[in-house]
Structure 1
Amino acid sequence: MPVFGLIDGNSFYCSCQRAFEPRLKRKPVVVLSNNDGCAIARTREAKSLGIKMGDPWHFARKRPEARPVVWYSSNYALYADMSRRMYEVLQARVPAVEPYSIDEMFLDLTSLPGDLYQRCKDIREAVWQEAKIPTCVGWGPTKTIAKLANGLAKDHARLEGLCDLTDPRIRAEWYAVTSIEDVWGIGRQTVKKLQSTGVETVADFVSLDPKLIRNLLTIVGARVQAELRGQSCLALSDVSSSRKSIASTRTFGRLLTEWSEIREAFAHYAARAAEKLRAEHLESAHLSVLIQTNPHNGDPWYAKHVGAAIEPTSDTRDLIRHATQLAEAIWIPAYRYFKAGVILTDLRPACRQSQLFALRESKVSAAAMTAMDAINIRFGSGVIRLSSTGRNRDWQPRASLLSDRYTTRLSEIVRVQSW
């Protein structure tokens, strides 16, 4: 019988900040969204003070109860590298690891020697010791059960971060007291449908006739039910293969009017999207751009989203060219712009030869992009980039509370002082 695990970093962004600042160990910590907008990650201490997900920073920081909170701007370079370190710790200890998100990874625990509970406990301890990230681990015979077990491990302190749902009897006990809302793959609209038929718990859902589930929720719902019943329908690679689009969108740090600055922003967003494409060995055959004014500051409202089919590519230069051409067509000089973005769709595996005489050119392009990515991975993001993406970039989102990029920027590494 297969056994899947899911390991999840606790308050991952906040834990990354704490990993390099021991003073934060028991303090309430909150990480903010782009442009220092609202709370997107909170430690347990911050939650206990009433800080909610999505609370605007400019309001929340003024509350008396929020005085002890330590606030941080999002430091994605740090978080991505800490995720990589966590992945490498896991990869050395289990047969296969599949990243599901920056802080969640599925594990292949099938046929591991020794006691499985102790093995998962050791894995969790290794991630803490080597990557300094506290985690919870859940496991079971399917991915859906592993995801549910992980949630239980996180929500119930008595489980001490570990939840084993491989035993059908133990599963049945948890199913009877767990809301259907907590099941991976069951969205809010689906919950409403199920509740209208009297389904409130996982046990209720599992006990329904599969034909009824299929008629009510289609094949997707039937697959979720089968997984909860212990029948594995999702292989270890199924989740990550479902990527349908890649987007790079941001709110500007200030309102922009000049085309030269807006062009830089679009070039930068296209370059970031291209890096994500290549990291997943994909190409895009459709590119769209969006731009908008701020609807809340009294400016005239203007929002435009336009796209076009392109020759499949992951070359940064091609994507910048397409993005800036589309953006220039929808830019109107009279407006002050607040947000823009680049979205790549119609994704397909890289290295497809779509034109007979394009093979040599595509090889040269791939070599150039591979070299650029390798340099940036080794020496830090943006060390080498196209000049069209700008140099100063003072239009970038505000990050007034940004911590050092301890692991990816040589000038910002932790300094040890001798006494």
Structure 2
Amino acid sequence: MGQPWFECKELAEEHGILALSSNYALYADMSNRVMSILSDYSPRHEVYSIDECFVDLTGMPRLRDVSYAMRDRVIKWTGIPVCVGIGPTKTLAKLANHVAKKHPRSKGVFNYNDLTENQKVRLLSKLDVSEVWGVGRRLSARLAEHGINTVQDLRVAHTSTLRAEFGVVMEKTQRELQGVSCIDFQEITPNKKQIVSSRSFGQMVKDVAVVKDAMSTFVANACVKLRAQGSHASLIQVSLHTNRFRRDLPQYNPCFTLPLPQPTNDSLVVNRWADYLVERLFKPEYEYKKAGIMLGEISPVGQYQSDWLEPAQATDTKLMEALDGLNKKFGRGTVKVSTQGAHKGWQMRQERKSPSYTTDWESVPRI
């Protein structure tokens, strides 16, 4: 669980701890570089998150040597240390990766396949069940009520009872721990069913115009992702949040979900609805720290149920195509709606932002 910076700032400065603000463009670029390196080792790979990737090495000899070579190349080409976990299933591979991180003797690589059955039992008996992929704090507490406290307990639990109490997903997790692959590779990233864009403000906001400005940016970011996957949305949700860490201030966290008359991916249309919802939710007596938008009921463009009470869906996409093309060529935010970027008060301060070494010519190190 993260801790707000203002709560530990003095302690960090006292011990000389270096704290950096988020630099998402840098993180994304470095992640893409790492994933590109990993893709050289197998045609089958799945980018699971910004810092995780599954690589299918089935049939490849000398897995440990290959893993060390993979790790060495990543750190040599990017400077980023990585760990490699090897297992017969995705769940066991993630557990092996956890062991590789925590135990120095592994030197960053751990192969679960090399263990004998007795070694597997000893290892899994030492690992808390919360270390299993998909088992969080609440689920761990429920499992503990059934006497399941370690990974080994889950591995050997009564399958029928497990399914009856926790569902088919938990049964699949158990079978994965037993070495039976139940979670397939997703080599092609599926289209998102929901798209969320939100951000904490750099300072407390009390002006509705500033909130609308921030919401326009969130709408633009969400709609770009929507158009990139060739989809449109039929539902919009807007939320506002006060600072939950400021107990001395009144709290207000409204959220409103609205079905759209017609599915759309047009930034101008979505922005008008978001603007309307902000007007409805905003109360001037509160200070806001965060806002966000969620687009839902997403479907491929061209697939929608028409409504005879509404005019036909607009099919002219030239404006949005031109907007996306210009922003892709000259940089994000080059062309934007008129309500976007007029106010700076909500934007993150990023006083400790690390340089954009790989995404900005002005930040490239000079030798």
Tell me the TM-score normalised to structure 1 length. 0.77
Contact 1:315 1:369 in 2 (8 A): no
1:346 aligns with 2:297: yes
Q: CA 1:109–1:82 in 2, change beyond 3 Å: closer, same or farther?
A: same
* Residues 5-404 of structure 1 mapped to structure 2, 5 A cutoff: 54-63=2-11, 66-112=14-60, 114-167=61-114, 169=116, 170-237=119-186, 241=190, 243-294=192-243, 296=246, 298-310=248-260, 311-348=262-299, 350-354=300-304, 358=313, 360-362=315-317, 364=318, 367-368=321-322, 370-372=324-326, 374-375=328-329, 380-391=331-342, 393-404=344-355
Contact 1:316 1:369 in 2 (8 A): no
Aligned AA (2:263)? P
Aligned AA (2:39)? Q
Distance in 1 (alpha carbons) for counterparts of 2:220 and 2:340: 8
Contact 1:372 1:384 in 2 (8 A): yes
Contact 2:196 2:295 in 1 (8 A): yes
Distance in 2 (alpha carbons) for counterparts of 1:168 and 1:244: 40
Shift of 1:194: 2.5
Contact 1:61 1:67 in 2 (8 A): no
Shift of 1:131: 1.9
Shift of 1:279: 4.8
Shift of 1:281: 4.9
Q: CA 1:257–1:177 in 2, change beyond 3 Å: closer, same or farther?
A: closer
Distance in 2 (alpha carbons) for counterparts of 1:339 and 1:207: 45
Shift of 1:238: 8.7
Tell me the TM-score normalised to structure 2 length. 0.87
CA RMSD of the aligned region, Å? 2.7
Shift of 1:313: 3.1
Shift of 1:299: 4.7
Which ranges in structure 2 are unaligned for 5 or more consecutive residues?
307-311
Worse overlay, 209-218 or 337-346 = 337-346
Aligned AA (1:325)? Y
Q: CA 1:366–1:57 in 2, change beyond 3 Å: closer, same or farther?
A: closer
Distance in 1 (alpha carbons) for counterparts of 2:3 and 2:206: 29
Aligned AA (1:264)? D
Shift of 1:297: 6.6
Partner of 1:5: none
Partner of 1:28: none
Q: CA 1:259–1:358 in 2, change beyond 3 Å: closer, same or farther?
A: same
Distance in 2 (alpha carbons) for counterparts of 1:157 and 1:300: 48
Shift of 1:410: 2.0
Distance in 2 (alpha carbons) for counterparts of 1:359 and 1:328: 26
Q: Secondary structure at the match of 1:166?
A: helix
Q: Secondary structure at the match of 1:186?
A: coil
Shift of 1:92: 2.5
Which ranges in structure 1 are unaligned for 5 or more consecutive residues?
1-52
Aligned AA (2:62)? D
Shift of 1:327: 1.2
Q: CA 1:354–1:366 in 2, change beyond 3 Å: closer, same or farther?
A: farther
Distance in 2 (alpha carbons) for counterparts of 1:80 and 1:69: 24
Contact 1:251 1:397 in 2 (8 A): yes
1:412 aligns with 2:363: yes
Distance in 1 (alpha carbons) for counterparts of 2:100 and 2:78: 20
Residues 206-261 of structure 1: per-residue CA shift (max 9 Å, x gap): 12221121112111110101111111111111996495433222222233333332
Aligned length: 358
Q: CA 1:230–1:219 in 2, change beyond 3 Å: closer, same or farther?
A: same
Q: CA 1:150–1:294 in 2, change beyond 3 Å: closer, same or farther?
A: closer
Distance in 2 (alpha carbons) for counterparts of 1:278 and 1:123: 35
Q: Percent of counterpart pairs with the same letter? A: 33
Distance in 2 (alpha carbons) for counterparts of 1:305 and 1:176: 44
